[in-house]
Amino acid sequence: MTAGHTFLAVDLGASSGRVMAGRWTSAGFSLHEVHRFPNNAVRLGNSLHWDVLAIWSGILDALKKFRVQFAETPAGIGVDAWGVDFGLLDREGRLLGNPYHYRDVRTLGVMERVARQVDGYSFFLQTGVQPMPINTVYQLVSMIEADDSQLHAASSLLTIPDLFQYFLCRQIHAEFTEATTTQLCDPASRSWSKHILDALQIRSDLFAPIRMPATVLGPVQPSVLREGGFDASFPAIAVASHDTSSAVAAIPGMDEQSAFLSCGTWSLMGARVYSALRSRAAYDLGFSNEGAADGAMLCIRNLTGLWILQECMHHWEAQGKNHPWEQLLQAAEVVQPLRSLIDTEDAAFQAPGDMPSAIRAWCAQTDQPLPDSEAEIVRSVLESLALRYGATFRALQSAIPRSLNVVRLVGGGVRNRLLCQMTADACRRPVVAGPVEAAALGNLLAQAAATGHLSSLAQGADALSAAENLLVYQPQCPDRWQQAAEHLARIQSLRDTSLSDREKI
């Protein structure tokens, strides 16, 4: 790839969005953050929504800033975002209402009701996806059950990144990696599962044909060009639009012996496989299959991530305690280790609210010392996340028929050196951390491949291997972390038994 081509990566996360300009140099992409904006859930009545017009405004602001900062026309633009959520368009291509947030309560109990029609493992055999209440399929069934007027009026369903690509270029499409998060896609045929759609009476005409990543969709529409101040057009490009798939595409050294851990609001751990792993063992261990940027698959488990700490920070800020993050981490390093542990997947930590109180309550219910200070809470969460990563790594190793010798960690967690070291300790494997901006880099690589500036995604990943400054964390104190893992497993078992006994009463 020759120097001088600049692409725009729109990278949308569950708490913020940003637009990155990536300019190819002889050593890889040089990244420049053009614009960052908050992405907050909005509660309206009893419902939780995404403010898509605010997100779109943030993207338009980024285009204006790019024009001022670079005084050139981009070589392309692509969007990656989270999975499962969607918007509905009417026959005129107009958005029908604000898309729902995956944490909205409308799916409560839906998964259990659907299981009476299609049991979980049959679902898994069809789609390769682990049933989760947040998945697109359960959101749609909740709308069918409610006889939702928006669903009746809808002509097209677009996942969140596909929706913003539509705003850019007016092309209705379904990108492969994002489609695989819906629990409605057959990953082998790369098409929508007619069996599942028919069984649940979901309209098949809502879904556009599935396109692979690194596909040019079409030119950015004139109204967007005028808004951004551009005289010349440039293409909108379908990247690996599920942010995890984009991130994995940019991991340097991602080989057969590597597991990956994408660590942000959510954490996702897995390994590359050539075809969807749909064994009973993989299902029982909680693994899903999602599309990879090159058309292969990722055997992956969704885990709660830094969301818990984000909620703690929101609570402390609301109390007027504006602690600098680095100071909290420094304080957490020196408090007593492995003292108060939580199950980060417990339902107590899945809803927004007073997270510090939820953590203390969980510790009280499990007869553990209460973490009182902010530093103790931070350490408790980080250690508990690392222990969950360790347990997941061992489950992944049992599901994958090859040895996994290293964990490659990308995303915002790379900046958290304490968590990186704890992850190495809990997984008992070296952790190679970096890059932080993996999702944006994967987005940019797909655009460069789509426009012929790179011969393949693999070529770009090879270039990143030489360009990125990666940090390696070696495991320490394996016995102490093994004992902590066993202790937390006992706590979880006792709590589950206690809750089950209460339900019987």
Q: CA 99, CA 89: separation in Å to the nearest integer?
A: 11
Do 174 and 147 fall within a single domain? yes
Among 104, 243, 343, 425, the one annotated catalytic: 243
Residue 1 within any structural domain of the chain: no
Residue 441 within any structural domain of the chain: yes
Do 468 and 426 fall within a single domain? yes
Specify whether the CB–CB gap between 236 and 171 falls below 8 A.
yes
- Residue 4 confidence (pLDDT): 60
In 3D space, the residue among 469, 471, 487, 467 whose CA is nearest the CA of residue 479 turns out to be 487
Do 225 and 275 fall within a single domain? no
Residue 340 within any structural domain of the chain: no
Q: CA 383, CA 338: separation in Å to the nearest integer?
A: 7
Do 148 and 258 fall within a single domain? no
- Residue 499 confidence (pLDDT): 65
Do 177 and 291 fall within a single domain? no
Residue 229 within any structural domain of the chain: yes
- Residue 459 confidence (pLDDT): 78
Q: CA 277, CA 67: separation in Å to the nearest integer?
A: 45
Where among 242, 268, 291 does a domain terminate? Answer: 242
- Residue 460 confidence (pLDDT): 80
Structural domain harbouring 422: 244-304+400-473
Q: What is the dihedral of CA 267, 271, 276, 277, to 10 degrees?
A: -100
Do 117 and 165 fall within a single domain? yes
Element (H, E) at 298: strand 297-304
The distance between the two most distant Cα atoms of the chain, rounded to a whole number of Å, is: 70
Residue 505 within any structural domain of the chain: no
Do 52 and 187 fall within a single domain? yes
Query: How much is the pTM?
Result: 0.91
Buried b (16+ CB within 10 A) or exposed e, 58-80: bbebbbebbbeeeebbbbbbbbb
| CA–CA distances in Å: residue 12 to residues 6, 280, 439, 501 | 19, 34, 10, 42
Q: What is the pLDDT along the chain (505 residues), one digit of tens a residue?
A: 445 689 999 999 988 999 999 987 766 678 999 999 999 899 999 999 999 999 999 999 999 999 999 989 999 999 999 999 999 999 999 999 999 999 999 999 999 999 999 999 999 999 999 999 999 999 999 999 999 999 999 999 999 999 999 999 999 999 999 999 999 999 999 999 999 999 999 999 999 999 999 999 999 999 999 999 999 999 999 999 999 999 999 998 899 999 999 998 889 999 999 999 999 999 999 999 999 999 999 999 999 999 999 999 999 999 999 989 999 999 999 999 999 999 999 999 988 899 999 999 999 999 999 999 999 999 999 999 999 999 999 999 999 989 999 999 999 999 999 999 999 999 999 999 999 999 999 999 999 999 988 888 887 877 777 667 889 999 999 899 999 999 999 998 888 777 665 555 4
| CA–CA distances in Å: residue 46 to residues 43, 112, 303 | 7, 22, 26
Q: CA 327, CA 186: separation in Å to the nearest integer?
A: 47
Do 142 and 250 fall within a single domain? no
- Residue 501 confidence (pLDDT): 59
Do 143 and 279 fall within a single domain? no
- Per DSSP, the three-state class of 147 is coil
Residue 284 within any structural domain of the chain: yes
Active-site residue flag, 372: no
Where among 242, 263, 293 does a domain terminate? Answer: 242
Where among 242, 266, 284 does a domain terminate? Answer: 242
Q: What is the 3-state secondary structure (H, E, C) of 270-284?
A: EEEECCCCCCHHHHH
Single-letter amino acid code for the residue at 251: I
- Residue 265 confidence (pLDDT): 87
- Per DSSP, the three-state class of 345 is coil
Residue 381 within any structural domain of the chain: no
CATH number, domain of 441, equals: 3.30.420.40
Q: What is the count of structural domains for the chain?
A: 2
